[in-house]
Amino acid sequence: MERLPDHKQIDAWRQDISFSANLREKNYNFKTTWGLFSPREIDAGTRLLLDRLEISEQDNCLDLGCGYGPLGLVLATEASAGKTLLLDKDFVAVDYSNKNLQLNGCNNAKAVLSNGFDAVKEQGCWDLVVSNVPAKVGKEMLSIYLFDALQLLAPNGKLYVVTINGLRKYMKRNLTEMFGNYKKLKQGSHYTVAVATKEV
């Protein structure tokens, strides 16, 4: 029979998890906690998406469903002359994202609590929207995400998404209908990265 954890083990699990990761040829430091997605390492979907992003120094960026902030942190670092906003509906994720932005010296970004894009007021001025799309939010919420992303993007702005392969056809159909275009950038064993552009 498996032994229950003792007080020392529980206390150890309450402590922040710390790790470093090399993302796009730069090292970042992270603090996370149990209960957040992939708390001990950068997940494969996020890495696949990061490898395919095209980021310009002046870009204004949104990271939807930021978790503890790896995507938003890279966006803020590489789009250093723009602004980056990280969004999550989990207050613990927002807290750790802001900790990680501070830990890595990113002064042009912040994380805020938001149900989807509800906290974003500036329409039509964002150059990049990125999301490691949660698979379990439901297709109704996914449709809201895609519709709102289109409204928020500037002309020629891009929406990058990584999804489990089971959502690949859904995303292709819906992005094509909403944006008028869709491009699959990479399909791995478990995840697919795609981009859609807001056409002028």
Q: Where are the domains of the chain?
A: 43-197
Which one, of 90, 147, 85, 145, lies nearest residue 121 by Cα?
85
Cα dist. 54→162, 176, 198 in Å?
A: 14, 20, 15
- For residues 86 and 113, is the Cβ–Cβ distance under 8 A? no
Mean pLDDT for the chain? 95
- Secondary structure class of 173 (helix, strand, coil): helix
pLDDT digits (tens, 9 = 90+) for 156-197: 999 999 999 999 999 999 999 999 999 999 999 999 999 999
What per-residue confidence (pLDDT) applies to 200? 81
pLDDT above 90: residue 72? yes
What per-residue confidence (pLDDT) applies to 45? 95
Percent of the chain at pLDDT exceeding 90? 86
Between 12 and 87, where is the model more confident? Answer: 87
Cα dist. 75→14, 21, 42, 107, 136 in Å?
A: 29, 15, 15, 12, 25
- For residues 61 and 38, is the Cβ–Cβ distance under 8 A? no
CATH 2.40.10.340 fits 43-197, yes or no: no
CB < 8 Å & 24+ apart, contacts of 78-81:
78/24, 79/55, 79/108, 79/127, 79/128, 80/108, 81/57, 81/108
